Amino acid sequence: MIEDAERRYRIASSRDPRFDGWFIVAVTSTGVYCRPSCPARKARRENVRFFPTAAAAQAGGFRACKRCRPDAAPGSPEWNVRGDVVARAMRLIADGVVDREGVTGLAGRLGYSTRHLDRLLVAEVGAGPLALARAQRAQTARVLIETTDLPFGDVAFGAGFGSLRQFNDTVRAVFAATPTQLRQARRSEPAPDVGTLTLRLARREPFAGEELLAFLALRAVPGVEEVVDGVYARTLDLPGGPGTIHVVAAGTHIDATLRLHDWRDLQLAVTRARRLLDLDADPAAVDEILEQDEALAPLVRKRPGLRVPGSAAGHELATRAIIGQQVSVAGARTVAARITQALGQPLPEPVGSLTHVFPTAAALGGADPASFPMPRARGRSIATVAAAVARGEIDLDAGADRDRTRAHLLALPGIGPWTADYLAMRALRDPDVFLAGDLGVRHALEELGLPADARAATAHATRWAPWRSYATLHLWSSLH
């Protein structure tokens, strides 16, 4: 965290976009809060206050800047780096858990009382879970107001508000404009197809988009994912029904087109896309550490801004990891596609080559392991892990306790250290995982003249902390 107020002011004065999302700049003379890179003339130091989140700024009586749109900035990379309860809570709130399950549901997932959780969040990020969720709903509402022709009632409930009055009051308070004024001020663009929305996803530079796309394309499951002309597309299993998302790198952002059955799934779909593409990473901080190793530095300079791909759902990645334990990448894609055709939910209508949503944890956990096109032992592993996820015994998504989840996974048959660590890196978004026993990692280390023995390699990799997941991706990428 950047806690020094004077350093924050210097960052804001330099308008450095790398720090957008790290903190909020509020100006007492105007009552507006901004991202650090806002192009507006900077206020005098005595008129500036800093907040850790937009929700905290809103609670302080400030409204969002209309010029820099601070609510659309990349998220703070801090919440992925950390594994404590506040970070886990922030990841779950971004997933929309408060909207779907309330603060009680959020606290229950984390194993804390609602009162204690509220105290923890207020003390560190300046706002409790309800205020944080409210800020997120406001941003979702603004997107729907400005990019669709939905009636405001549909926008309100799609953004997660409990009433139209709550929606109107929040929009006025946060943006200093009514929903009607926001819609009238939007750009003149063709209306999107019904159920379709295109929006920009912010990211930090540099961004190794081609390498990220190549990683996803190599592993794309037919029927679930496709890569065509530089566009990655996939299906999503969402609470309101199946959806699809198409993403493509465009300038300094990502263009994302979503097709949703229920607009209330918008925030969750966007959050999953951001995690899948690792859009909240701080690539400058990552590259700075990794370049200090003379052996690794050439790889980092060749692929600045390399991302660690996430997952659309933890149980999906677990299934695919188990499938790929003893087969080629191409073979694993074929097997995953066959399982999807048998157990996945079909889309109402195909979208390009996308036809199915990957099977749910309940569907996989309830299937006969002998029906999977693979050795029965691995089939049992898939069913066992999926059933544990479906029962809530193992959490493979954003709010998981990483250490506890790893221990639970290792206790299951067919799950070894490589699989558990691979899931920690991609599903749990742990940025500091080093797959020392991976064959590709060992080959890459040998080519760099580094120790390839697991123990020696692990010892050497300590200098890459806390970004060992990114070092692993650089090693894999060097083989292609």
Out of 20, 34, 265, 282, the active site residue is 34
Domain map (residue ranges) of the chain = 5-55, 78-147+149-184, 194-279+311-411
Q: What is the pLDDT of residue 1?
A: 55
| Side-chain half-sphere exposure of 182, counting CA atoms within 13 A | 27
Alpha-carbon distance of 400 to 425, in angstroms, equals 12
- Tokens representing 422? 């691979």
> Would you state the structure tokens that stand for residue 98, as one six-digit string?
């408060």
Rg (CA), the chain: 22
Q: Which two tokens stand for residue 377?
A: 């032992």
CATH classification code of 78-147+149-184: 1.10.10.60
The verdict on domain 194-279+311-411 having CATH code 1.10.340.30 is yes
Q: Which CATH architecture has domain 5-55?
A: 3-Layer(aba) Sandwich (3.40)
Q: Identify the segments of the chain with pLDDT beneath 50.
A: none
CA geometry: angle 359, 111, 159, nearest 5 deg: 60
> Position of tokens 């929606």?
167
Per-residue exposure over 274-298, b if at least 16 CB sit within 10 Å of its own CB, e if not: bbbbbbbbbbeebbebbeebeebee
19-34: string of b/e by CB count within 10 Å (b at 16+)? Answer: bbbbbbbbbeeeebbb
| Residue 356 to residues 49, 309, 315, 337, Cα–Cα distance (Å) | 49, 21, 16, 9
Q: Is 65 a catalytic residue?
A: no
pLDDT of residue 192: 55
The type of residue at 206 is P
CA distance 178 to 75: 26
8 A C-beta contact, residue 110 and residue 282 = no
Same fold, 5-55 and 78-147+149-184: no
**Would you call 438 a catalytic residue per the annotation?**
yes
pLDDT at 117: 94
In the prediction, which pLDDT does 168 show? 94
Reading the block at residue 61, the tokens are 């009586």
Quick: pLDDT tens for 235-286: 999 999 999 999 999 888 899 999 999 888 988 999 999 999 999 999 999 9
Of 95, 265, 287, 438, the catalytic one is 438
| Token code pair at residue 181 | 């004024």
